C-alpha cells in the first residue's frame, strides 16, 4: 500500500524544499516537479513531491486527513 500526503511548498532551495500541512513541516525533494513555486501544493510520497495538485483538491484532501485524525483521536 502506498501513502502520499498533500503539502504546500513554503521554501525552495534548488531540488530541496520545505512542505507544510496541518502544522507539520517536512523537508522534501522536488526533482519531479517542473518549476516548483512557493505556495504550490504537491503530493508527497517517500520524501519526494510526485505531482502538483490544484489548491481545491489539496484542501479537500487535507480536510479528509483532519477528519481521520479527529476520529482516531
**5-72 maps to CATH 2.30.30.140:** yes
The per-residue pLDDT for 2 is 72
Give 3's pLDDT tier (boundaries 50, 70, 90).
Answer: confident
Distance (Å, whole) CA 57 – CA 60: 5
Across the chain, what does the average pLDDT equal?
94
For the chain, the structural domain boundaries read 5-72
pLDDT in tens, 46-64: 999 999 999 999 999 999 9
Q: Name the one residue in this structure whose C-alpha cell is 479527529.
A: 70
Find the largest Cα–Cα distance for the chain. Answer: 38
Q: Record the pTM.
A: 0.90
Amino acid at each position: 500500500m502506498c501513502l502520499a500526503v498533500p503539502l504546500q511548498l513554503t521554501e525552495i532551495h534548488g531540488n530541496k524544499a520545505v512542505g507544510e500541512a496541518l502544522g507539520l513541516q517536512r523537508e522534501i525533494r522536488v526533482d519531479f516537479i517542473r518549476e516548483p513555486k512557493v505556495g504550490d501544493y504537491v503530493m508527497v510520497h517517500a520524501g519526494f513531491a510526485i505531482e502538483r495538485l490544484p489548491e481545491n483538491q489539496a484542501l479537500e484532501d487535507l480536510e479528509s486527513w483532519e477528519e481521520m485524525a479527529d476520529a482516531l483521536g
